[in-house]
Structure 1
Amino acid sequence: MNIALINVKITIQKNETVVDDIGNHKNNWTDYHTCFATISGEGGSKKSVAGLIVDDSDISFTVRYCKALADLDITKYRVLFEGYLYNIVSVDHMNYKKKCLKLKCEKVRR
């Protein structure tokens, strides 16, 4: 892995359940880990669905391995990059050599 290519900052957010003053449960995204990554596989397409233009962008982030990211779960984490949110579709541990992780993501529809 070429370290010079790891040059963009991303933030990994975690979904947590928060209880307010009167006992209501609410999902809240909090910043979990900030690190640098390499971006690859930027692509996507725009298509028209029911009169709306839908952006299906997919992107992959490669980050260095650390203990904080070892137990990433695709249902509880997402990536924030340049103000855009990306859902994690899969986590590739790159042959379990504990050198890097590849996060395959897709843009969150809003």
Structure 2
Amino acid sequence: MNIELLNVRIFIQKNEVISDAIGNRKNAWKDYYTCYATVSAEAGKESTDAGLVVDDSKIDFTIRYCKKAAALTSTGYRVQFGSELYDILAVDHMNFKRKCIKLSCQKVRR
């Protein structure tokens, strides 16, 4: 893996249950891990849904292997790249060689 290709910083956020001052519980996204990644994107797709134009872009991030990155799942984590948020669709451990991890993501609909 070429380290020089890891040229953009991404933030990985974890979904956690927090409670407020009076004990109400709600889900919140908290920063879990930050690292540099290689970005490879497909062409952006836009579709119309109920008269709205929806951006369904897919993007892949390749990051270096570490213990925190190895714990990533597609259900409890998301990626922040720049000002955009991406849901993790799949986590590929690249033949379990412990060198890199590929995150296949899709832009969050807001």
TM-score, reference length from structure 2: 0.97
Per the alignment, residue 73 of structure 1 pairs with 73
In the alignment, the residues of structure 2 paired with residue 34 and residue 15 of structure 1 have an alpha-carbon distance, to the nearest angstrom, of: 15
TM-score, reference length from structure 1: 0.97
Query: Any gaps of 5 or more consecutive residues in structure 2?
Result: none
Shift of the alpha carbon at 1:17? 0.2
Shift of the alpha carbon at 1:73? 1.3
In the alignment, the residues of structure 1 paired with residue 49 and residue 20 of structure 2 have an alpha-carbon distance, to the nearest angstrom, of: 38
Name the amino acid aligned to 1:98: R
Query: Any gaps of 5 or more consecutive residues in structure 1?
Result: none
Per the alignment, residue 25 of structure 1 pairs with 25
Q: Which runs of structure 1 show a deviation greater than 2 angstroms over 4 or more consecutive aligned residues? A: 41-44
RMSD over aligned Cα atoms: 0.8
Which range is displaced more, 8-17 or 37-46?
A: 37-46
Name the amino acid aligned to 1:105: C
Matched, 1:34 2:56: no
In the alignment, the residues of structure 1 paired with residue 87 and residue 50 of structure 2 have an alpha-carbon distance, to the nearest angstrom, of: 23
Name the amino acid aligned to 2:35: C
Matched, 1:52 2:24: no
Matched, 1:104 2:85: no
Shift of the alpha carbon at 1:41? 2.8
SS at match of 1:21: coil
SS at match of 1:95: helix
